[in-house]
Amino acid sequence: MKSACCLFLLVAGLVVTGCGKHDSSSTTTTTVTSVNNTPAPPPAGNSYGGTLVNAQRSAVKTVDLVSLNQAIQLFNVQEGRLPKDLQELVSKEYIGKIPPAPVGMKLVYDPVQGKVTAARQ
């Protein structure tokens, strides 16, 4: 009985000491900073930052080409023919304006296939 009483007091002591207030200085805080969406210029050499900039350029090129090709397909469905050139998509209001070609590239439209690609200049 005496050992059960000692065990009970030991457990009660551990519970009481473990249930105290926590020190607020030990809490972790997170700082959130805003990030500018403008891409930084590529750093010198072949580095991780340069790879990220190249990946962003590739993504923008892909999105522009996909949206142009979708506008061409919509034009084809609604008009019953492929556009003669990309400017016809603008004049018939399928797109607001022709997006600029990626740096060092030009947009090439094939009116026979109805497809836009980006080619090196």
pLDDT tens-digit map of 65-109? 899 999 999 999 999 999 999 999 999 999 999 988 888 889 999
For position 95, what pLDDT does the model report?
93
Per-residue tokens: 104? 């060092």
Asked if residue 14 has pLDDT above 80, the reply is: no
**Residue position matching structure tokens 């200085």:** 25
Compute CA distances 104 → 42, 57, 61, 120, whole Å. Answer: 15, 11, 12, 6
Q: Quote the CA–CA distance of 119 and 105 in Å, as a whole number.
A: 5
Q: Quote the CA–CA distance of 104 and 48 in Å, as a whole number.
A: 21
* Cβ atoms of residues 116 and 72 within 8 Å: yes
For position 46, what pLDDT does the model report?
57
**Span 26-73, pLDDT tens digits:** 444 444 444 445 555 555 555 666 776 676 666 556 768 899 999 999
Please tell me whether the overall predicted TM-score, pTM, comes out greater than 0.75 for this model.
no
Give the closest residue to 119 by CA, choosing from 104, 110, 111.
104
For position 45, what pLDDT does the model report?
55
DSSP 118: E
For position 74, what pLDDT does the model report?
96
